[in-house]
Amino acid sequence: MNGYFNHSDWFVILFYLAGIIGLGVWFGRDQRTTRDYFLGSRNIPWWGIGLSIVAAETSALTIIGVPAMAFGGDIAFLQMVIGYVLARIILAIVVVPHYFKGEIYSPYQLFADKFGPAGRRTAGGMFLISETLAAGVRVYVASIPVKLMLGDKVLSLGTGDPIFGAIFLFVALSLVYTYIGGVKAVIWTDAVQFGLFLLGGLFVLYYIPTLVGGAFSQAAAGGKLHWLNVIPPAGVPWKTFLLGSPFNLWMGVIGGTVMVMSTHGAEQLIVQRVLACRNVSDGRKALTLSAVCVLPLFLIFLLVGALLWTFYQGHPFQIPLPEVKKGSGIGANDFIFPIFIMTEVPHVLKGFLIVAILSAAMSSVSSALTSLASVSTMDFVRHGLGGRSEEFYLRFSKYSTVFWAVALVLVAYVSREAKFVLNWAFSLRGLTGGALLGGLLLAVLWKKGRGTPLVAGMLTALVFMLLVLMLPKWDATRDFWMRWVGTEIFWPWYTLIGASVTLWVAWVLDRLLPKNKVKVSGS
């Protein structure tokens, strides 16, 4: 057992795990149809869904990595969150009404209504692949500091591999209530988990200034509270400033807005929650509430990182920062918040903060499981088979949830050995996000037509974004890239570029291909 914990800490952790599973099972009882399982019977209050939206996009990696970002730099990531807020407002006004035109289980049904089954399968397939890889990687990266916190003996599970134990812990515990209760259980446990990691961040924000006098003023003097970059520093070209790192206001307002329009408008992970609302009004309220919550949440954890920097200016690390292999997807600074919790926080409160990290990890896993099961069941199996009983599809939905849980465990475990999988998976959401957003915009704004221009546009965007990611890194093409572009393009711009390629290719092909009338069906 980890020597930094006592019985009171373990009681808090175990009480949380038992309570959250019991809560999920209670709220998710009486699931009789796929409508119940994937839409929560559309009787969940909008405020619960709004909190769930924020929890679904907040993984343990966020709770650990955002403070690490501020510790190593400043709180400039806050500029990205401005775009996160703007995107939700745009989606609430423009896109949400389209989700309630009939009984829709995923945004990819809109693709089928406009462009036939090919568009639906392409978009759904992109989501299944990207979300499986991204969620698996989130589990793996979160398991590394959690292994440090909970200890090897606790997590080995008889296998001798504590990393596998942490991976299995996250996925198995989340699977229990997701399998039984579907999206209703996920939404309500998300709402509770959101409260837990928000309170955890607020506590640390209060606690560190009690240990360090003038903590905020020291952070400000050290440049840790700097957040706004509007013009490039002296000697840095505008192109390099706008397209490359670090974060700047234009990147946040433009790139961040477009990116979240994809994640919250075209990816089932978040859209499934909006679809669970009773009507358009509730869907808009849920997205608006998430917009109100997301900026304070990120600000809290960015400030936590700045205060951790202040604290460790005058205090030694009680546990040395681990050496981290290059390309492992996690930096040494990602261990700082867990080390602080383990060594500087009083017992009981220490257990509570571990619970905050566990809750973020479980929330992201359960959200991935229910969204993956929904798309595979409703967009592929039910659409492809048809004519089966509701009991058959509900049973398949639950089996699908188990299948995706196994897939997440495998992806997470493979990521620890194959570093290239980890690196690619971190960027994959940005690589597919533009194609999905471009397709959604065509489905919402364009007239009915053939699926060929849409599918070609989405696939072209995916290939194009792979080149954007890889050309600056290959020795054979790096000089060419730097001569014509001048900088590696930072990930917040990926979605905008991919969406633009999708729209342009689809428009060109629609003009070039013969204008034969084709009946669109498959919704």
**C-beta separation of 300 from 198 below 8 A:** yes
d(CA 224, CA 210): 19
Per-residue confidence at 156, pLDDT binned at 50, 70, 90?
low
Record the pTM: 0.90
| Contact between 447 and 514 (Cβ < 8 Å) | no
pLDDT class for 330, splitting at 50, 70, 90?
low
Lowest mean pLDDT among 121-125, 146-150, 396-400: 146-150
- pLDDT confidence band for 114 (50 / 70 / 90): confident
Burial label for 222, CB within 10 Å (0-12, 13-18, 19+), is middle
Q: Which two tokens stand for residue 172?
A: 């198995």
The residue ranking higher by pLDDT, 144 or 123, is 123
Q: Is the pLDDT of residue 523 over 70?
A: no
Q: Are 495 and 432 in contact (CB under 8 A)?
A: no
| Sign of the CA dihedral running 348, 349, 350, 354 | positive
Written as six digits, the tokens of 89 are 């407002």
Encoded tokens for 8: 């009171």
Residue 383: HSE in the Cβ half-sphere, 13 Å Cα cutoff: 23
Is the pLDDT score of 422 beyond 50?
no
> Are the C-beta atoms of residues 409 and 470 closer than 8 Å to each other?
no
Taking the CB of residue 373, how many other CB atoms lie within 10 A of it? 29
Q: State residue 257's pLDDT score.
A: 96
Decide: 255 and 492 in contact? Cβ < 8 Å. yes
DSSP secondary structure string, 207-234?
A: HHHHHSTTHHHHHHHTTTT-----SPPT
Local confidence band at 152 (pLDDT 50, 70, 90 cut-offs): low
Query: Where is average pLDDT lowest: 37-41, 198-202, 312-316, 482-486?
Result: 482-486
What crossing angle do the helices spanning 46-56 and 349-374 adopt, rounded to 10°?
A: 100
Output DSSP code: residue 457: H
Residue with the larger pLDDT of the pair 303 and 420:
303
Report the pLDDT value the prediction gives residue 423, as an integer from 0 to 100: 45
**Integer distance in angstroms from the first to the last C-alpha of the chain?**
54
How far apart (Å, rounded) are the C-alpha atoms in residues 503 and 217? 48
Name the nearest CA neighbour of 174 among 492, 412, 343, 511: 412
Q: In which band, very low, low, confident or very high, does the pLDDT at 421 lie, cut at 50, 70 and 90? A: very low
Residue 482 CA to residue 233 CA, distance in Å, equals: 20
Residue with token string 């299995």: 168
Which residues, including other chains, have CB under 8 Å from residue 416's CB and lie 6 or more apart? 140, 163
HSE (CB half, 13 Å, CA atoms) of 438? 32
Is 424 a residue whose pLDDT tops 60? no
CB 8 within 8 A of CB 351: yes
Task: Indicate the average pLDDT of the chain.
Answer: 87
Question: Which band of pLDDT confidence, cut at 50, 70 and 90, is reported for residue 320?
Answer: confident
**pLDDT higher than threshold 90 for residue 427:** no
pLDDT at 296 over 90: yes
Q: Taking Cα atoms as reference points, which of 255, 167, 243, 187 lies closest to residue 45?
A: 187
C-alpha angle 385-390-395 in degrees, rounded to nearest 5: 85
Tokens standing for residue 443? 């489905």
pLDDT score of 31 more than 50:
yes
Q: What is the CA radius of gyration of the chain?
A: 23
CB atoms closer than 10 angstroms to residue 390: 12
In the predicted model, is pLDDT for residue 268 greater than 90? yes
* Distance of alpha carbon 466 from alpha carbon 491, whole angstroms: 12
Copy the structure tokens of residue 243: 């397209």
Per-residue pLDDT averaged across 433-450, rounded?
89
- Determine which of 196-200, 273-277, 373-377, 513-517 has the lowest per-residue pLDDT on average: 513-517
Give the residue-averaged pLDDT of 142-161. 64
pLDDT computed for residue 329 by the predictor:
55
Average pLDDT over residues 458-467: 93
The pLDDT assigned to 150 comes to 65
The torsion defined by the Cα of 190, 198, 292 and 26, in degrees rounded to 10, comes to 20
pLDDT attached to residue 121: 93
Q: Which has more confidence, 258 or 320?
A: 258
Whether the CB-CB separation of 211 and 205 falls below 8 Å is answered with no
Q: Pick the closest to residue 155 from 419, 353, 358, 328 (CA basis).
A: 358
Give the span between the Cα atoms of 172 and 169, in whole angstroms. 5
Rounded Cα distance, 295 and 252, in Å? 13
Query: Lowest mean pLDDT: which of 27-31, 37-41, 257-261, 363-367?
Result: 27-31
pLDDT at 420 over 50: no
d(CA 306, CA 304): 5
Output 406 or 31, whichever has higher pLDDT.
406
pLDDT exceeds 90 at position 62: no
**What burial class does residue 32 get, using C-beta atoms within 10 Å of its C-beta: 0-12 exposed, 13-18 middle, 19+ buried?**
exposed
What pLDDT digit, counting tens, does each position of 78-98 carry? 999 999 999 999 999 999 999
Query: Which long-range CB contacts under 8 A does 327-333 form with residues at least 24 apart?
Result: 327/419, 327/420, 327/422, 327/423, 328/419, 328/422, 329/137, 329/140, 329/141, 329/415, 329/419, 329/422, 329/423, 329/426, 330/141, 330/144, 330/145, 331/68, 331/72, 333/68, 333/69, 333/71, 333/72
Task: Report the residue count for the chain.
Answer: 523
